[in-house]
C-alpha cells in the first residue's frame, strides 16, 4: 500500500466562475492559474503522484508549457491515472478537503465526487470531498484564494 498527500492553493482574480472538482461554479471572482485553476484536482493529482513516487504535477505538466494553457484539469487527472496504472498501482480511495470562505460547494459535491470517481475508475463510495472555512483567519480567511488538501491510498494492482 502506498499513501500520498497533496496541497494546492490558488489566488482569486478577475472572473465570474471557478472550477472545482471538474465542476464550473458561478462566483464573483475567478481563480488565477495557467490551467483552469482547479485547486481540488491539483491537490489530488499531487497526492496520486506522491503516493507513486512520481514527483509532482509541475514536473509532468510544466506551468510554462503552452499545451496546458487553460487546460481542463480532468484531462490531466486522467493522464495521472494512466501513469499510476502503468506503475502497477490502483487507487483504493481518496479524501479531499477544500479550504475556502466561498463559494459554498454543498450543492456541487456529488458532481465533484462523480467526476473524480469516473476519472480514476473507482466507485463513488471511495471518493470523499469535504469543505471547511478558515474561520476568517489569514489570507484564506480574508477570501483572497482557495486551498485544497488531498490524501490518497494506492494498492499494488498485481501483487507487487
Instruction: Give 24 or 157: the residue with its C-beta nearer to Mg ion.
Output: 24
Residues belonging to the chain: 160
x/- binding map, residues 18-57, to Mg ion, per CB under 5 A?
------------------------x---------------
**Grid cell of 48 as nine digits:** 496520486
Using the contact rule CB under 5 A, the part of the chain among 4-12, 122-130, 135-143, 151-159 near Mg ion is 4-12
Q: Is 74 in the site for Mg ion (CB under 5 A)?
A: no
CA distance 135 to 100: 9
Q: Is 8 in the site for Mg ion (CB under 5 A)?
A: yes
CA distance 113 to 142: 27
CA distance 120 to 11: 27
Give the footprint of Mg ion on this chain (CB under 5 A): 8, 42
Amino acid at each position: 500500500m502506498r499513501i500520498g498527500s497533496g496541497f494546492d492553493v490558488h489566488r482569486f482574480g478577475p472572473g465570474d466562475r471557478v472550477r472545482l472538482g471538474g465542476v464550473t461554479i458561478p462566483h464573483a471572482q475567478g481563480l488565477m492559474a495557467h490551467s483552469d485553476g482547479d485547486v481540488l484536482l491539483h491537490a489530488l493529482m499531487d497526492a496520486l503522484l506522491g503516493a507513486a513516487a512520481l514527483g509532482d504535477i509541475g514536473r509532468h505538466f510544466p506551468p510554462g508549457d503552452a499545451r496546458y494553457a487553460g487546460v481542463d484539469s480532468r484531462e490531466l487527472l486522467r493522464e495521472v491515472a494512466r501513469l499510476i496504472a502503468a506503475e502497477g498501482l490502483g487507487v483504493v480511495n481518496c479524501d479531499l478537503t477544500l479550504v475556502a470562505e466561498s463559494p459554498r460547494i454543498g450543492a456541487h459535491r456529488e458532481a465533484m465526487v462523480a467526476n473524480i470517481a469516473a476519472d480514476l475508475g473507482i466507485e463513488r463510495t471511495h471518493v470523499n470531498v469535504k469543505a471547511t472555512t478558515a474561520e476568517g483567519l489569514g489570507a484564506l480567511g480574508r477570501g483572497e484564494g482557495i486551498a485544497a488538501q488531498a490524501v490518497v491510498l494506492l494498492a499494488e494492482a498485481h501483487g507487487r
